Structures are given as C-alpha cells and as structure tokens.
C-alpha cells in the first residue's frame, strides 16, 4: 500500500482512545443519535481520549448546511464539546466528507491497482433484472460479479461507449472464510463473505459510498474505537473487509442496541418528539435529556438515577452497556425534567423561562422574573408550562361571580384589610418579609376568631382569583408590593 497517499494514517502519538461521532446532515439530531454521541463523548472523557466530530455529507441530494448547523447547535446545547471538528479544525482534517474527495479517490485507485476492486458497468436495468431473478429462484439478492473478471478488451468497449461505471469491492479476493470480530457490547460476531455481494465503494458520480468513506476517514483520522447503533453491524463486517484489503488493523467496534417506542417498534414521529430541537423547543433541559439518555442501555450498577454530565464522565463504562434494546418512556423523561427544573437556582430558572413567557405575548421586562420563577418552580414539568402557571402574575386579576361572592363577606374583607395595611406600610417585599406579614396577619386574625382556611382562602382568591396555586408568600413576592396593594385596594373599594 502506498503510504504517501493524501491524508494517509498518521502515527499515533498516544494510547488514549480516539472516537468519532459522524452524523449525516440530512435532518435534525435524532434522540437516538444523540445517545450515540453521548456514549462516544463519555467514553472519550472517561479514558482521557479525543472526541471527534465528522460530518458525513456525501449524500448531495439531502445534505444541507442548515441541518449541519442544527446538529452542531444541538450538540453544543447538550454540552457535548468536541476536540476536533469542521468548525474548530484539527490535525486530521478536513472534517467534512465533501472536502475529502481527493483522499477517497486515491484510496479507491490503490484498491484498483491492488486488484481488490474493479470497475462495474452494469446498468440499473441489468441489476434490477438480476435482483428479480434471484428472488424468483429463492436466492439471496446480491451482485453476481458479472464485471469482476472482464477482459481488457471488454472493459475497453465499455469505456469507448462511455458507459457509466462504479467501483466495486471484490469481496472474494481476500475473504474466503468467515469474518469474525469481538464487539465490545454484542460479543463475538461472525458473518460469511458468501452472504455479502461485491459492494460499491465509489458511485458513478465519483462520490464514495458510506462504508468506503467511513473506512478511509477512520483510518486517516487514527480512530481507535467505533461506537454506534447496532443497525451498523453488517456495515462493520464490510468495513473490516476493506481494512483487510488495505492491510491495516481495523478499529475496535461496539454496537449499541436500538431505542424503541413503548410499542417495541423503532422510535419514530408517531411516538412523539424525536429530535433534540423539538425537545429543546418544548421546554426540556439539556441536563435532563443527557441524564435520561445515559440510562437508556447503561447502568451505574447502583440505585442512583440523577447524574450530571461531569458525574457520568467519571462513572461511565462500556462494560455496563446492555445488549438489550432500550424502551423510550416519555413519562420518565418528564420526571427527570421536573427533577432537574426543581434543582435550578431561581436566577437560572428565570433566564430559561423568560423566552417562553415572552413568546406567549407578555412583556417580561415589566415583571420580576426571578420572583415568578421561585413561585412556579415546584409546579413545572417543562419550561413550556411556565406561561400557564405564571399567568396569575402577568395579568390583572379577574374574579368570577362565584369568587366575588366569596370575597364579599365581612370576614373576608377583614382579612383582606389587615394584610393590605401591612403591605401598604412595608418599604419593600421579598420572601422573608412576605412570610413575616402573613405570620403577623394570621396572629391578629386568630385574636378575632378567624383561623386557618378562613384566612388563607380569601387571601388567595383576592390576590390571584384562583382557588389553588403557589404558597402565598411566593404569590406576594411575585406580584410585588405595588401590584399586591393595588389589587387588594380595589377589592376594599368595591371595584
């Protein structure tokens, strides 16, 4: 093999693993693909290795820069940073396949020269007829090798006729026995070359196919471990064949089981949101998604369920990844999201709910968003719920006839007047002062024989118009002194 090929494999400078995440920019980052990125990231960080982002954009019809940007933004939002990639570069670049075409061409030409690849001139009609014959005869459909042994004269006739051609890999050349490898997750896997037809490595438009480009990229980028979904198991066999033909050692492979929906079918749109952008826009936290995805097919071996990304990087081990498919449970993700929301400092939660409240049509600059965040924090499952829970602080209180009737009693008015006077006299309001005012109001009301629900219920109705909601000290703090006083004054004045 010519070691002077463009982008040839560099000498490894360290024994630490080099793993890659290589999405195709043909859509947004799927939740299952995000788990693959996460497990690769954790593997690299756990063992002091390198995490490489590579964009596999050779599908020219479907790949777009917009989808590439979306994938990158989703990874950044999840907190999965990379050490080399198309946006930051690195010594093994370029990191977009569309920018590596010269490298693929040179490797393909070398395989042709070595006799382990050949030009195929078969038309689509001929291939389709061959496929139909195989199916009619009950045989496995694969390329029969018609162009494998063309004579020089036969090839010349095709060239003179300018017939479209692809380059196929000669599977039988060096693969007479079963291809075996030890999968990090699945264990030993073996497949007979007889069930693998001579597959295409370079298409008629001179673009590489997935398997060939992946091998050339992994080889020239010194990738040590390829960790991906188990829908790639047959691809790994083809790739090992290519490594054998190139006389280079293959990386270590590991294949994660699929993520399935509750009906045990492959996770899809009918199960709900499937992309990271959808979950972000629906108000899920990256911390919650990372935490939940980490537990789909992996376990720390303890009862612990809540993990930060840093903790996962310290505890992750490929040995604890399950062979069995993972079932995606939307309810469990909601539980994780609610748990992480309740852990956020009020100032951080305020920042995260603000865009959702603004989109709902409220002028967020008019309100104390941190106080509102504190009031609704325990109710939230997603950030998108914030406008509904915060409405009582964002709009003028409206009373139904039933509520107005409950508030139009001497007892209710006495309670309302007592707390109004205390709020009116206060210089400012915060959580502590609101608690103090409530405590003092309760103490005075008790001396007048008014207790419990007869105090808190009319106060809640007066301040929110609702029969339930956050603790009253949160309500007073979120409304603020000025608005709370004005609201109570209107009631006392009969407006």
Catalytic residues: 269
Paired residues of 225 in beta bridges: 19, 252
Closest CA to 390 of 464, 280, 467: 464
Distance in angstroms (rounded) separating the CA atoms of residues 381 and 365: 24
């Amino acid at each position: 093999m010519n070691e002077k090929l463009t982008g040839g494999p560099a000498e490894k400078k360290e024994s630490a693993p080099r793993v890659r995440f290589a999405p195709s920019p043909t859509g947004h980052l799927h939740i299952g693909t995000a788990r693959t990125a996460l497990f690769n990231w954790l593997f690299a960080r756990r063992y002091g290795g390198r995490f490489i982002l590579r964009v596999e954009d050779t599908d020219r019809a479907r790949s777009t820069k917009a989808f590439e940007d979306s994938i990158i933004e989703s990874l950044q939002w999840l907190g999965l940073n990379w050490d080399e990639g198309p946006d930051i570069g690195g010594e093994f670049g370029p990191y977009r396949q569309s920018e590596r075409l010269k490298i693929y061409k040179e490797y393909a030409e070398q395989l042709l020269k070595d006799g382990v690849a050949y030009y195929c001139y078969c038309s689509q009609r001929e291939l389709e007829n061959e496929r139909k014959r195989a199916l009619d005869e009950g045989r496995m459909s694969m390329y029969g090798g018609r162009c494998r042994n063309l004579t020089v004269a036969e090839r010349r006739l095709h060239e003179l006729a300018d017939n479209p051609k692809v380059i196929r890999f000669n599977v039988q050349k060096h693969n007479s026995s079963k291809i075996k490898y030890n999968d990090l997750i699945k264990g030993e896997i073996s497949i007979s070359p007889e069930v693998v037809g001579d597959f295409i490595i370079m298409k008629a438009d001179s673009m590489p196919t997935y398997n060939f480009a992946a091998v050339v990229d992994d080889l020239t980028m010194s990738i040590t471990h390829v960790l991906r979904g188990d829908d790639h198991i047959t691809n790994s066999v083809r790739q090992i064949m290519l490594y054998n033909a190139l006389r280079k050692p293959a990386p270590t492979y590991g294949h994660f089981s699929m993520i399935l929906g509750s009906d045990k079918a492959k996770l899809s749109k009918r199960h709900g949101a499937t992309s990271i952008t959808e979950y972000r826009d629906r108000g899920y936290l990256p911390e919650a998604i990372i935490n939940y995805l980490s537990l789909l097919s992996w376990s720390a071996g303890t009862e612990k369920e809540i993990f930060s990304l840093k903790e996962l990087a310290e505890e992750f081990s490929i040995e604890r990844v399950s062979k069995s498919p993972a079932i995606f449970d939307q309810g469990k993700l909601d539980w994780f999201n609610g748990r992480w929301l309740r852990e956020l400092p009020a100032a951080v939660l305020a920042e995260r709910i603000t865009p959702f409240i603004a989109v709902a049509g409220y002028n967020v600059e008019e309100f104390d968003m941190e106080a509102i965040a504190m009031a609704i924090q325990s109710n939230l499952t997603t950030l998108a719920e914030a406008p509904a829970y915060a409405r009582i602080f964002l709009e003028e209180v409206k009373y139904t006839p039933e509520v107005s009737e409950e508030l139009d009693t001497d007892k209710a008015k006495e309670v309302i007047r007592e707390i109004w006077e205390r709020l009116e006299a206060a210089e400012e309001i915060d959580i502590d002062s609101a608690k103090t005012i409530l405590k003092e109001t309760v103490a005075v009301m008790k001396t007048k024989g008014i207790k419990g629900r007869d105090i808190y219920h009319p106060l809640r109705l007066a301040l929110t118009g609702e029969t339930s909601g956050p603790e009253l000290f949160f309500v007073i703090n979120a409304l603020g002194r000025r608005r709370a006083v004005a609201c109570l004054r209107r009631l006392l004045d009969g407006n």
